[in-house]
A = this chain, B = another copy of it.
């Protein structure tokens, strides 16, 4: 075998010990919350049949699927004619599987295949990597984790409440304090297009309004004109742009603004109901921000729409979702509606990093390194090692007989906070010399005293 200089595929990453500890901190926080709220974990295979995946993400999505070459003689069914036609004719004959592109389609497939065993309402969460052959760039990877929770088989607005509550709990436990849970309702957007006299055009309307923050109201008006919205419609829209702050004020305004749209008022009613439940639960509207123009991939959502933005960081949206009507229709099972949302784990990581919210030290580090001078110290160290681990303290004995300095360097690099030094004196007294590396403070303790100190 020739010697190669190894490399990673474009757009992929290794996660070393420090990154893993930080990722686990985020993922464990999310998992704990999902379980506290009664969600159950699901895992699906990385590989799905291409028949399951294609046609679900639009033409661009189909292009971005990673396809797996059939095993064995993969060319065996390819004809000369196929080759002349090119990739489109050859692809179906050389590949029948692809890598998961998101967690929603595999979830829909799972629900259809297991519909007789599942008891609805079904609350599931799923935390797994997905793959997309996107052009890699800063913050965009070809392999990344998604972290989805969905409730299917109920129309109850309790689901919307639970999503808000879960986001609040996760963010509180991560130490994130400056963010907004933006919330809207598809029915309000439909009502909006009705009352400005452009019924059914909420999709186009939202695409344009979505750019408000970036390009300003003047440019948005120009875009709407380009899209053949009437001057009158644009004029009627302007109160929405100047909407007052505060959920209550917005709701009051919208109630009269949408007075002529039954569906619009229904959307307002649903939103009010969710906020009312929040109060009954004993929580408040802190962090919750009714955003009349929030749209997010409008085509999928039929009711509530969510998006979470962290303030004062370069990365904006870290979570989003909404209510949908028909999860499984494409696989022949109608009537499975639900609400879902997703945490962007990579984005949360970057946000936590940018805000300096991760503790300095490795969160999963070893607590104690035992060092020694000679064979006698090593044997004594083994006993101490056992005692520490029996108390649940992550501990290591330096494996090789080496200079104390080298052993300390190991502790230092691995960010192990306490070093035990076993010299003849300590062994005679049955004690431990314990040095705390951050302060340099050294003391002599019994094993029991040391365990007490660490607990």
Say whether A280 contacts B68, CB under 8 Å. no
A269 in the interface (beta carbon within 8 A): no
Encoded as 1 (CB less than 8 Å from any B CB) or 0, chain A from 326 to 340 comes to 000111100000000
Encoded as 1 (CB less than 8 Å from any B CB) or 0, chain A from 28 to 47 comes to 00000001111011111111
Say whether A389 contacts B330, CB under 8 Å. no
Say whether A69 contacts B94, CB under 8 Å. yes
**Which of B17, B55, B75 is in CB contact (< 8 Å) with A42?**
B17
Say whether B97 contacts A9, CB under 8 Å. yes
A216 in the interface (beta carbon within 8 A): no
Say whether B90 contacts A4, CB under 8 Å. no
Say whether A12 contacts B47, CB under 8 Å. yes
* Chain A interface, >50% SS class: mixed
Nearest-CB residue, chain B, relative to A379: B280
Residues of chain B within 8 A (CB-CB) of A161 are 382
Say whether A332 contacts B4, CB under 8 Å. yes
Residues of chain B within 8 A (CB-CB) of A38 are 366, 394-396, 414
A409 CB, min distance to chain B CBs, angstroms:
8
What's the interface size class on A, roughly?
35 or more
Residues of chain B within 8 A (CB-CB) of A182 are none
**Which of B14, B397, B410 is in CB contact (< 8 Å) with A119?**
B410
This chain's copy number in the assembly: 2
Nearest-CB residue, chain B, relative to A414: B119
Say whether B332 contacts A3, CB under 8 Å. yes
A392 in the interface (beta carbon within 8 A): yes
**Which of B16, B114, B123 is in CB contact (< 8 Å) with A114?**
B16
A359 in the interface (beta carbon within 8 A): no
Say whether A6 contacts B399, CB under 8 Å. no
A8–B48 Cα gap in the complex (Å)? Answer: 6
Say whether A67 contacts B66, CB under 8 Å. no
Known contacts A14-B42, A399-B151, A410-B119; is-contact A90 B71 (Cβ 8 Å): no
Residues of chain B within 8 A (CB-CB) of A318 are none
A189 CB, min distance to chain B CBs, angstroms:
25
A364 in the interface (beta carbon within 8 A): yes
Within 8 A of B (CB), among A1-27: 1, 3-9, 12-17, 20-21, 24
Within 8 A of B (CB), among A406-426: 409-410, 413-414
Residues of chain B within 8 A (CB-CB) of A97 are 9
Say whether A143 contacts B382, CB under 8 Å. no
Say whether A87 contacts B75, CB under 8 Å. yes
Say whether B129 contacts A46, CB under 8 Å. yes
Residues of chain B within 8 A (CB-CB) of A442 are none
Residues of chain B within 8 A (CB-CB) of A285 are none
Encoded as 1 (CB less than 8 Å from any B CB) or 0, chain A from 272 to 301 comes to 000001001111000000000000000000
Encoded as 1 (CB less than 8 Å from any B CB) or 0, chain A from 97 to 111 comes to 101000000000110
Encoded as 1 (CB less than 8 Å from any B CB) or 0, chain A from 108 to 145 comes to 01101110010101011000010101000000001100
Say whether A48 contacts B9, CB under 8 Å. yes
A158–B13 Cα gap in the complex (Å)? Answer: 32
**Which of B119, B154, B281, B332 is in CB contact (< 8 Å) with A386?**
B281
A83 in the interface (beta carbon within 8 A): yes
Say whether A110 contacts B9, CB under 8 Å. no
Say whether B109 contacts A90, CB under 8 Å. no
Say whether B143 contacts A46, CB under 8 Å. yes
Encoded as 1 (CB less than 8 Å from any B CB) or 0, chain A from 59 to 90 comes to 00001101111011111000000010011001
A84 CB, min distance to chain B CBs, angstroms:
11
Nearest-CB residue, chain B, relative to A381: B280
5 tightest A-B CB contacts, nearest first = A17-B40, A156-B399, A12-B45, A119-B413, A38-B396
16 contacts between A and B (CB under 8 A): A4-B332, A5-B332, A6-B52, A9-B96, A14-B45, A17-B124, A21-B41, A38-B366, A38-B396, A46-B131, A47-B142, A69-B95, A156-B399, A156-B400, A158-B399, A161-B382
